Structure 1
Amino acid sequence: MSAQPAIRVLFASSEVFPLIKTGGLADVSYALPKALHALGLDVRVLLPAYSSVKAQLSWVKTDIKIPLFSFLHQAPATILEARLPDSDVPLYLLDCPMLYQREGGPYQDGMGNDWADNALRFGLLSKAAALFGEHQFDFKPDIIHCNDWQTGLTPAYLHYSPRSQAKTLISLHNVAYQGVFGSEVMGLLELPPASFGMYGLEYYGLVSFLKAGIYYSNWITTVSPTYALEIQTPTFGYGLAGLLAGRKQQLTGILNGIDDHWNPHTDPYLAQNYDFSDQLKQDKFANKKALCDRVGLSAEINTPLIGLIGRLTYQKGIDLILPVLDQILAEKVQVVLLGSGDKGMEQQLQALASRYPQQLRVTLGYDESLAHQIEAGADLFLMPSRFEPCGLNQLYSMRYGTLPIVRHTGGLADTVTDVTPCHLDAGSANGFVFAEETPEALLQTVRRALVLYRCPELWHTLQRHGMQRDLTWTGRAAEYLSLYQQVKGDDFSGSSI
């Protein structure tokens, strides 16, 4: 028997680490294609040719032309060809200077305002992916793997195309972000009027890119099994719970993994590389000292240090921390925080840092090297999210021997197992979990963690449980491969709701 040809996958995303990143989507869009490639799939990534991305890569022009929306009256967009950094994965860059060649981020300008033409920018990205799905170019994918609202129109374009050849799968990284625009964009996106209805793109009189992806795709994934259940409820579904519940037979939760960039044994940002050994406490302290030196604290080997990295938003539960941060600091701990977001939260944290200069350091913004150093230097990592589709920092923390404190939701519930007698006996306890959305529940859990911090043998055991767990993308990629095989052979062709 001859070998089966490798499944061909076009992985379409609006951001890819390390080229451009605003959140976990970028990490997944880099690591998962690499892991799929290692399993033998012919996987290629499609990304807009933002100014900053083009400046970082060596690329060549191809003869692939993507027609713009007709009203623009411009020359076609073109595809540039490159490689994902440090990999053999081909990278297609959708080059359209009038839409992507500008200063600022992928979604917002330098002032934090959404680009006014985001519907066109990501409508074109979706359209380009769909043209690959029509097998109009040399690379003829079996599966178009879409990601979040920015590629959500791809399944709709293919649904209404008589030349559609590829199946579609959309991954939902955060249902709260849906790409909702005024109905006037329907005349610009070149989708048929029939698509604008309850059974299609229409969302309370507006256009939802994410709803389009969910409704028209062959399959839906999200980034943890618990989140796959949560988004079928009104609390977490953000207006799409009914549609998601109606498609639950084609909805799968697959946890994210972490890339080898997050490995304390090889991490170039660390003062001392390490793994799980009898020297772990000393190695961790070397990193704690380097972190404290960097942020201006005095490191003490027996003083617990709590890290926090993330957006300062309601979703991340920062408002649960603020009312009890004085009480946490009264426990003789140090806290190092890296993040940005809500200006009021930023100001409150900076005011607290001024009151506790020997215990609290707040760095606004994002710094990749500091993020790695916090994970390595901290003893505990605080992540009290109100909802968390998967979460990556709790996974990084476990790999770095830093015990996470999390709320029981989404991927946090699926990856962090609370320290209880039965979980200790089973060898599965690897962190601290609370359920209630209250500052008091958070404070109680922090205090519980600090009691165990002063039990070195037990602490070492908990670190081992996390550090020796397989958190890599290898197993996750195998789950996606199995799903691709199922979707490729399935006759299902979109929502039947």
Structure 2
Amino acid sequence: MKVLFAAAEAYPLAKVGGLGDVAGSLPKALRDLGHDVRIALPRYGGIRDVRDDLGPLAVRIGGEGLEAQLKASQVDGVPVYLVDYPPLFDRPKVYEYEDDGKRFGFFCKAILELLPVADFWPDVIHLNDWHSALAAAYLKTTYAGGERYRGIRSVLTIHNLGHQGLFGRDLFDWLGLPPDTWHPEGVEFYGQLNFMKAGIVYADRVNTVSPTYAAEIQTEEYGCKLDGLLRSRAAKLSGILNGIDHDVWNPSRDPHLAGKYSKSTLERKATNKKSLQEESSLAARPKAPLFGFVGRATEQKGVDLLVAAIPEMLKLGAQVVFLGTGEKRYEDELVTLARRESGFVAYLKYDEALAHRIYAGSDFFLMPSKFEPCGLGQMISLRYGTIPVVRATGGLADTVRDIGANPKDGNGFTFRDYSVAAFLDAVRRAVEFYRGGRGWKSMRQRAMSTDFSWGASAKEYAALYSQALVA
């Protein structure tokens, strides 16, 4: 099967968040299954790895013909098409510009215009989040009469419904979509153009990054005002869990660790705890339960619960290490807390190597998320034998089984109510289980046995593409 995988970011060429990890890993896993998968990506200012110039790429938009260049690169053997148009993309950042609507609207049309230039005609175009979602609308309308385009199907993956790409009517006019698509059953959304809604309406199949999140976004609480539309499209909506790169996240070969270990040499994990305590200037207490957090300091990640709970956690004899950046109000609270509490350390920065050391050196990993479409932190922590304490939402509910409800195959601790009390109850249960000793080693070994590699997810995506082809 031929697949064009279109995204705004793809590691290592461009990465801001989890989408970059997915776009850097899933196409490779699909190629390992024998599919011809290629990536389409804007060429940002920071992308230097250009290996070929495929020629001019004409994109008619805004009532004129704009000429870009189509360049080529590669990620782990996966061909990458780079849409090179400096006026819109030659900038240091991927997102957060006032003209992001124009930038990614242009990219959506370029996705379809690059096919004849590259001489690559896919069976399926796989779109990811709002930045590429509008290509589904173009494919079903503007390009519907093209003989080579007519048989192409599209799949949209929603990584985070909270970001939808909302812009004014003037951008719709500039993009040149047919006037009849400006309709509540088309791309219009309360008087605005909604890229994500366009993808949901026009794509042949829509999926999210976990089965539970696929169900949650059909409710008012999580649906971000698109729940009604999603319920009406439930027949073409599904959820597939993301994976993690088992080569990158492997405690037996991780170069960032003080001591490498595996499921059969779990006792060596203690070396990493001792090292993390030393690095973080925490008291050298081998029996103290050490909790780690790696992520953004935002409400979505439950940092308001965490800040409120940390003093009580420390009273239980625990230690806590935080790594991440985010909203200033939370960063300020974390700094104040770290100055006041000797058992808490906050690293307000991005540090990939330190993240590896926290995953390996902690006993528990915290994810009290308000919502979590998939979540990678809990998968990584399980891989490292570090037990997750999570709120049962989205992908967290699909990957973490509470030991209390599942004594034989539990791999973590969960709570449902979004409250400090519920979060602390899960933490207390975790501390009690840790100190009780019985079942602790087997639980960690069970955690490390869980397979979250991309192989299984890639097979599910291949099946989803097949469904799209017969839609």
Distance, in Å, in 1 between the alignment partners of 2:202 and 2:52 is 33
Distance, in Å, in 1 between the alignment partners of 2:56 and 2:286 is 59
Is it true that 1:77 corresponds to 2:59 in the alignment? no
Match of 1:107 in 2: 95
1:398 to 382, 389, 394: 382
- Specify the code of the residue in structure 2 equivalent to 1:62: L
Match of 1:95 in 2: 84
Match of 1:439 in 2: 420
Measured after TM superposition, the shift of residue 148 of structure 1 is 0.2
Is it true that 1:332 corresponds to 2:320 in the alignment? no
User: Counterpart of 1:30 in 2: which secondary structure?
Assistant: helix
Distance, in Å, in 2 between the alignment partners of 1:131 and 1:398 is 43
Q: Give the TM-score normalised by the residue count of structure 1.
A: 0.91
Measured after TM superposition, the shift of residue 477 of structure 1 is 0.5
Distance, in Å, in 1 between the alignment partners of 2:296 and 2:13 is 20
Match of 2:32 in 1: 38
Is it true that 1:206 corresponds to 2:192 in the alignment? yes
Q: Give the TM-score normalised by the residue count of structure 2.
A: 0.96
Equivalence map 1:462-481=2 (5 Å): 462-481=443-462
In 1, are the aligned partners of 2:169 and 2:193 still within 8 Å (CA)?
yes
In 2, are the aligned partners of 1:68 and 1:77 still within 8 Å (CA)?
no
Match of 1:26 in 2: 20
Measured after TM superposition, the shift of residue 294 of structure 1 is 2.9
- Specify the code of the residue in structure 2 equivalent to 1:375: Y
2:407 to 424, 442, 462: 424
Distance, in Å, in 2 between the alignment partners of 1:130 and 1:241 is 29
2:8 to 10, 14, 21: 14
RMSD: 1.5
Is it true that 1:67 corresponds to 2:59 in the alignment? yes
Distance, in Å, in 2 between the alignment partners of 1:468 and 1:344 is 39
Instruction: Work out the number of aligned pairs and report it.
Output: 465
User: Counterpart of 1:389 in 2: which secondary structure?
Assistant: coil
Match of 1:359 in 2: 343
Match of 2:261 in 1: 274
Equivalence map 1:369-408=2 (5 Å): 369-408=353-392
Distance, in Å, in 1 between the alignment partners of 2:331 and 2:367 is 17
User: Counterpart of 1:153 in 2: which secondary structure?
Assistant: helix
Equivalence map 1:449-464=2 (5 Å): 449-464=430-445
Match of 1:4 in 2: none
Distance, in Å, in 2 between the alignment partners of 1:473 and 1:183 is 40
Distance, in Å, in 2 between the alignment partners of 1:136 and 1:73 is 16
- Specify the code of the residue in structure 1 equivalent to 2:55: D
Measured after TM superposition, the shift of residue 300 of structure 1 is 2.5
- Specify the code of the residue in structure 2 equivalent to 1:156: A
1:121 to 94, 103, 118: 103
Equivalence map 1:240-319=2 (5 Å): 240-260=226-246, 261-277=248-264, 279-281=265-267, 283-319=268-304
Distance, in Å, in 1 between the alignment partners of 2:255 and 2:120 is 36
- Specify the code of the residue in structure 2 equivalent to 1:292: Q
Measured after TM superposition, the shift of residue 131 of structure 1 is 2.6
Distance, in Å, in 2 between the alignment partners of 1:252 and 1:71 is 37
Distance, in Å, in 2 between the alignment partners of 1:190 and 1:484 is 28
In 1, are the aligned partners of 2:62 and 2:175 still within 8 Å (CA)?
no
Distance, in Å, in 2 between the alignment partners of 1:19 and 1:293 is 34
Structure 2: state its 5+ residue gaps: none
Is it true that 1:159 corresponds to 2:150 in the alignment? no
Q: Structure 1's 66 and 405: CA in aligned 2 closer, same or farther, altered over 3 A?
A: farther
